[in-house]
Amino acid sequence: LKRDERFNKLTQEHVDYFRGILGSESAVIDGVTNDKAADDIEPFNADWMRKYRGHCQLVLKPGSTDDVSKILKYCNENSLAVVPQGGNTGLVGGSVPVFDEIVISMSRMNKIIDFDEVGGTLVAEAGTILEVADQFLASKGYIFPLDLGAKGSCQIGGNLATNAGGLRLLRYGSLHGTVLGIEAVLPDGTVLDDLCKLRKNNTGYDLKQLFIGAEGTLGIITKVSIQCPQRSKAQNVAFFGLESYELAQQAFREAKGQLSEILSAFELMDGGSQELVVKVTNNKRPLEGEYPFYCLIETSGSNAEHDGAKLETFLEDVMEKGIVADGTLAENETQIRALWGWREGITEALSHLGGTYKYDVSIPLADMYQLVEDTRARVDAAGLLGDTDEHPVRAVVGYGHMGDANLHLNISTRRFDKRVEECLEPFVYEWIQARQGSISAEHGLGLQKKKYISYSRNDTAVQLMRRVKSMFDPNGIMNPYKYI
Ligand code: FAD
Ligand code: 2HG
Ligand code: ZN
């Protein structure tokens, strides 16, 4: 990948202009004229996985939509490339620069603007941290319709930009359904005010949808309006061990049938992923024995006792039928959190063990886990997998949102290694293409899957995306070098 020479390099004059707009000292981190800023800029150049690294020298932190508009207008007129950055928790290298693009960090735009307590519509600035939005909603008896392990750092603007899926999509659906409106700034500084608060609005093209999942390539989302459901009074969680993936599928069918309207999550973890969590956290496992597969079920309803009894009956039934080998139910909030930790904590645990190659795929359930087995066999046959230091790969594991047919294939390595990457790519993408799956169920394409979009999208679709991109961003300043 080479730097695109159409983009200008930053000068003192540019920096002075941005300082003039943003005023406050802390809103500009300037490594262009100040060598000492390098340490402050570093976190904006490194992604969450430490896999991708940019060389940006200037970070701008706008405080308002007007600031964003002035910044982008100037960048567009002066051919300066930019990367919008939210919480920088993205897992495909989309949130960090590749070369010297300016980072536009949304962290200061974090106000909750409005909440309709009857309708459940929340309007907030894009830089609001997901967990902060959810806690605000909890105080009103509502819930944010998205939840994920990075909630303490990711921002709702970043969630929209990646169309994050998360742990409760099964219940509340995708952001394409729950987002009611957005305000966004286009690359030329124009503000698109589509901050609709209505559930129903069939007036022409639904433009906001283009920004949901665009990964910052069309403009910067500055405000979000979203439909939030009532927070369930009762939450129950069960965790169980199973002897095979076939049995996990049967358990899913039973859960849908028996728990129907109260089922809010059905998550899968293989034995390998849980072993790595134990290795890092040293926590006591929730079940006595060890199993090749585990599932976590969450129910959300209006009556804890009633839901608990339903879940207990379900567990007894699936154990009697020999589907589930062993299981446990959380008895209080602390136990609920602890059980969720075994699922939500996998990504974090793996990050302490070296580099992880991540594939976020969607394939019909029947075939889903086979990908993990085939990948493990391939890495092993290449002599890369082993318990000792000479082997770069420690483990090939799978887990994910089984309820949404979304698998996270993770290859945990002692260090990122070109040989491992060559063994995995394009193998994994070809495997998915052969089954008409998606090479990105929820994390997006970013830089990681730049070359591979055609494994999931045909030429016509990709060409149309290019035309949309050039209509919105004719000078290509928005998040360049990434997938489009
Ligand atoms: P960033 O990482 O900062 O940015 C992501 C992309 O969005 C970049 O391309 C960036 O340019 C763009 N962007 C950010 N803000 C804006 C904006 N305001 N306007 C326009 N573009 C913008 N993802 C899931 O889907 N499901 C999960 O369950 C899940 N779990 C995770 C767990 C962990 C521990 C971690 C580290 C990540 C997880 N992710 C998950 C991945 C990630 O996509 C989400 O964390 C989140 O949606 C990214 O939000 P962010 O604010 O950190 O965005
Ligand atoms: C999850 O579901 C996230 O935990 C992250 O989407 C998955 O790290 C991963 O591969
Ligand atoms: Zn996920």
Q: What is the DSSP letter of 260?
A: G
- Residue where a domain stops, chosen among 331, 348, 365: 348
pLDDT in the model for residue 253: 98
Does residue 180 register a pLDDT over 90? yes
Question: Is the CB–ligand 1 distance for residue 149 below 6 Å?
Answer: yes
Question: Is the CB–ligand 1 distance for residue 128 below 6 Å?
Answer: no
Q: Mark whether 73 and 93 lie in a shared domain.
A: yes
- Residue where a domain stops, chosen among 348, 366, 390: 348
Tokens of 381: 């046959």
Q: In this structure, is residue 260 part of a structural domain?
A: yes
pLDDT in the model for residue 483: 86
What is the band of 217 on the pLDDT scale with cuts at 50, 70, 90?
Answer: very high
Q: In this structure, is residue 474 part of a structural domain?
A: no
CATH code, domain carrying 326 = 3.30.70.2190
CB 329 within 8 A of CB 315: yes
Q: Which atom of ligand 2 is nearest to the CA of 267?
A: 2
Rounded to two decimals, the pTM is 0.98
What is the band of 152 on the pLDDT scale with cuts at 50, 70, 90?
Answer: very high
Identify the CA nearest to 334 among candidates 263, 266, 399, 237.
237
What is the band of 439 on the pLDDT scale with cuts at 50, 70, 90?
Answer: very high
Tokens of 440: 């990105």
CB 11 within 8 A of CB 32: yes
Q: In this structure, is residue 5 part of a structural domain?
A: no
% of the chain residues with pLDDT over 70 = 100
Counted domains in the chain: 4
Instruction: Give residue 409 CA to ligand 2 midpoint distance, Å.
Output: 9
Ligand approaching nearest to the C-alpha of 106: 1
The closest residue, in CA terms, to atom 2 on ligand 2 is 400
**pLDDT (tens digit, 9 = 90+) per residue, 284-316?**
999 999 999 999 999 999 998 999 999 999 999
Q: In this structure, is residue 6 part of a structural domain?
A: no
* Residue span of the structural domain in which 290 resides: 234-348
Q: Mark whether 63 and 153 lie in a shared domain.
A: no
**pLDDT (tens digit, 9 = 90+) per residue, 378-406?**
999 999 999 999 999 999 999 999 999 99
Tokens of 182: 């957005």
What is the band of 247 on the pLDDT scale with cuts at 50, 70, 90?
Answer: very high
Question: Is the CB–ligand 1 distance for residue 164 below 6 Å?
Answer: yes
Q: Mark whether 387 and 439 lie in a shared domain.
A: yes
pLDDT in the model for residue 174: 98
> Residues 389-395: contacts with CB within 8 Å, 24+ apart?
389/414, 392/417, 392/419, 392/420, 393/420, 394/276, 394/353, 394/354, 395/272, 395/275, 395/276
ipTM: 0.99
Question: Is the CB–ligand 1 distance for residue 91 below 6 Å?
Answer: yes
Question: Is the CB–ligand 2 distance for residue 347 below 6 Å?
Answer: yes
Weakest mean pLDDT among 17-26, 76-85, 158-167, 267-276: 17-26
What is the band of 25 on the pLDDT scale with cuts at 50, 70, 90?
Answer: confident
Does residue 319 register a pLDDT over 90? yes
Instruction: Give residue 313 CA to ligand 1 midpoint distance, Å.
Output: 38
Query: What is the enclosing helix (H) or strand (E) of 208?
Result: helix 208-211
Query: What is the enclosing helix (H) or strand (E) of 72?
Result: helix 65-77
Across the range 67-77, mean pLDDT stands at 98
Q: Mark whether 418 and 339 lie in a shared domain.
A: no
* Ligand 1 pocket: which of 72, 148, 477 to mutate (most atoms within 8 A of CB): 148
What is the band of 455 on the pLDDT scale with cuts at 50, 70, 90?
Answer: very high
Instruction: Characterize 73-88 residue by residue with b for buried, 16 or more Cβ atoms within 10 angstroms of its Cβ, and e for exposed.
Output: bebbebebbbbbbbbb
How distant, in Å, are the alpha carbons of 76, 190, 220, 291 from that of 85? Answer: 18, 19, 9, 40
Q: Mark whether 96 and 138 lie in a shared domain.
A: no
Across the range 158-164, mean pLDDT stands at 98
Mean pLDDT of all residues in the chain?
A: 97
Q: In this structure, is residue 132 part of a structural domain?
A: yes
* Ligand 2 pocket: which of 48, 49, 148, 340 to mutate (most atoms within 8 A of CB): 148
Across the range 121-147, mean pLDDT stands at 98
What is the band of 418 on the pLDDT scale with cuts at 50, 70, 90?
Answer: very high
Q: CA-to-CA distance for 299 and 236, rounded, in angstroms? A: 5
pLDDT in the model for residue 24: 79
Question: Is the CB–ligand 2 distance for residue 343 below 6 Å?
Answer: no
Across the range 434-446, mean pLDDT stands at 97
Burial of 169 (0-12, 13-18, 19+ CB in 10 A): buried
**pLDDT (tens digit, 9 = 90+) per residue, 333-354?**
999 999 999 999 999 999 999 9
Identify the CA nearest to 329 among candidates 339, 343, 342, 341.
339
The closest residue, in CA terms, to atom 8 on ligand 2 is 347
pLDDT in the model for residue 245: 98
